[in-house]
Structure 1
Amino acid sequence: MQYKTKQEQIAFYKSSAWQSLRLEALERDNHECVWCAEEGKVTTKHDAVLEVDHIKEIEHHPELALELDNLRTLCKPCHNKRHNRFDGKKNKWFDDEKW
């Protein structure tokens, strides 16, 4: 299966196979962000939203889409950083005069 289009990716992420494997990855990683853990911080579902990240993206490596070894648990901020996404919030002081 290819996961090139948004519709194909949405269908994959709604599948029972993905939902089951996602839970397995969260359990394996003790429901903690692995990047935060590498920095000595503990980030759990009580601190942030946890997401399961494909290390090698499914659109480029569809054969690894359901491989547990290709998954890791990241908190939402780390997952956004990994994909160069931002929450869209702009610093309210950004346009202020700078003297």
Structure 2
Amino acid sequence: MTASSYYQSPHWKALKLEALKRDKFRCTVPGCGATRATSRLTVDHIEPRPRGEAEPTDKDVLPNLRTLCKTHDNQVMQNSDGRRRGGGSFTVGGCDEDGFPIDPSHPWRRGR
């Protein structure tokens, strides 16, 4: 099994589904509120798993996982040097509970 194939393994798929269910299929960043209906969600390791490790590790446990929307996952994704972007901090804009910008002139608000 290669490192990338871990994410295709039955272990990861089951763990990922548990995390999504626990988080009610919503981004866990306070104030975001993005759901699977409004954003592509991903399950992120809070403490990153070892790079190149193909088998489950002690980082592959439910308490070390969180559901993030694409925006927040991109904000903290690991760089090639293993460090998290933005120091691992999130930026939350002015969005409603569905993840849409509060600003009525924002293009995403048209027709809502």
Q: TM-score, normalised by structure 2?
A: 0.61
Count of residues paired in the alignment: 75
1:20-79 deviation digits (Å, cap 9, x = unpaired): 1100000000000001xx12x32101110000000011116x3212x1000000001100
2:23 equivalent among 26, 29, 52: 29
Counterpart residue type for residue 70 of structure 1: N
Cα RMSD between the aligned structures?
A: 2.1
Residue in structure 2 matched with residue 11 of structure 1 by the alignment:
5
Matched, 1:57 2:48: yes
- Following superposition, which runs of at least 4 residues in structure 1 exceed 2 angstroms of deviation? none
Mark the runs of 5 or more structure 1 residues left unpaired by the alignment. Answer: 1-6, 86-99
Q: Indicate the percent of aligned positions where both proteins have the same amino acid.
A: 35
Q: Which has the larger radius of gyration?
A: 1
Gaps of 5+ in 2: 52-56, 78-84, 87-112
Q: Scaled by the length of structure 1, what TM-score is found?
A: 0.68
